[in-house]
Amino acid sequence: MNRLLITSCFISLIIAEPMSLKFSGSYYGRRGNLDYHYYTGSFSISKYGHIQFGGLSLPDTEFLFAADRAKSTYDNDPYEDDGSAILKVDLSANQKFSPFIFAEWEFDSLYALESRTNIGAGGKYRFGPFFSISYAALYEQEKYTDDTTHTLLYRHSFRPKYKRKFESLGLFMDWQIFYKPRFDNNNQYLLKNILLLSFQTFYDALTLDISYQYEFNSKYELNNVVRSYQYSIDDTLGYYFVEDYSEYYGTDIPFVYTTDSDGYVMIPSEYYKPEDYTVSIGFTFIF
């Protein structure tokens, strides 16, 4: 019922108010010695200025709903799969101080992140026309691949942002950094650095976008989390079972391992890395 109400309000807002729509997408593919296909797409709906929502009048308000998705296959097997969505309302957006609320959801197979959902509220303080700093308190649920249930936690979110349009160059720049430590442990945090450069083309509704994104997850620095395994081969036993090792060496296996469906011992071949870098180039259509 709540979802239906929220959806109805969202649709009525779109119908009632003219919105700015943006769509972008890209594809990369290679066949032959390498069979790799990568697809990505995104869209956003935004409104800046006065928003009339039923009997509620919101002057100088920024409304944003955005979503993106990226997926790839390697030798016909699933490889990358990530996406995110955010809903944000920023009140008094162009004033010295502006409060905001938002909800966000994301997932990333390469990080073994099945889902992360957070709801937050905070405020933004502007230092001149281009630079601002914001803080928000987040209630979050996250679940990784090996987790049996969602973890409930609270985070701080600090975000400096530099946003500017260089008219003479036909360039729009948006640079923001998110630092999100947990309330109960500052050593467990997320860090994200996003830089977007958008160049005007020969057509006003078409821009060339270059983006760079850096992500850091302290979970994989504080703990060694196995990403993949390979079969363990002993000089004497060859491929072996747990019982084979115990009987031959007279002790339990002293290292990290797992077993396959037949019981053969497998050892880690790769661990998740705390850092991740992404660079993309594509076109965006604005309606």
pTM: 0.82
- Please give the Cα distance from 139 to 231 (Å, whole number): 41
Say yes or no to pLDDT of 29 above 60: yes
Q: Cα angle vertex 211, ends 135, 108, to 5°?
A: 70
- Please give the Cα distance from 126 to 158 (Å, whole number): 14
Q: How many CA atoms lie within 13 A of 163 on its CB side?
A: 11
Band (pLDDT 50/70/90 cuts) for residue 203 is confident
pLDDT digits (tens, 9 = 90+) for 65-95: 999 999 999 988 889 999 999 999 998 888 8
Q: What is the mean pLDDT of residues 42-59?
A: 79
- Please give the Cα distance from 14 to 16 (Å, whole number): 6
Band (pLDDT 50/70/90 cuts) for residue 161 is very high
Fold of 2-225+277-286: Porin (2.40.160)
Say yes or no to pLDDT of 56 above 80: no
Domain boundaries, the chain: 2-225+277-286, 228-265
pLDDT digits (tens, 9 = 90+) for 264-283: 999 999 999 999 998 888 88
Q: What is the pLDDT of residue 4?
A: 46
Band (pLDDT 50/70/90 cuts) for residue 3 is very low
Q: What is the pLDDT of residue 81?
A: 94
Distances (CA, A) of 97 to 46, 86, 88, 100, 134: 20, 22, 16, 10, 9
Residue that wins the pLDDT comparison between 125 and 27 = 125
Nearest C-alpha neighbor of 192 from the set 91, 274, 87: 274
For 209-234, give the DSSP string. Answer: EEEEEEEEETHHHHS--EEEEEE-EE
Between the CA atoms of 52, 12, 46 and 100, what dihedral angle is there, to the nearest 10 degrees? Answer: 60
Query: In the predicted model, what is the mean pLDDT of the chain?
Result: 89
Are residues 47 and 19 in contact, defined by beta-carbon separation less than 8 angstroms?
Answer: yes
Say yes or no to pLDDT of 50 above 90: no
Band (pLDDT 50/70/90 cuts) for residue 17 is low
Q: What is the pLDDT of residue 19?
A: 74
Look at 14-23, 48-57, 95-104 and tell me which has the smallest mean pLDDT.
14-23
Residue 249's Cα: distance from chain center in Å?
Answer: 47
Are residues 146 and 112 in contact, defined by beta-carbon separation less than 8 angstroms?
Answer: yes
Say yes or no to pLDDT of 6 above 80: no
Residue 14, φ and ψ in degrees, nearest 5: -65, -40
Q: What is the mean pLDDT of residues 56-63?
A: 81
Enter the tokens of residue 217.
């997850």
Q: What is the mean pLDDT of residues 191-210?
A: 91
Q: What is the pLDDT of residue 15?
A: 44
Q: What is the pLDDT of residue 1?
A: 46
Say yes or no to pLDDT of 22 above 90: no
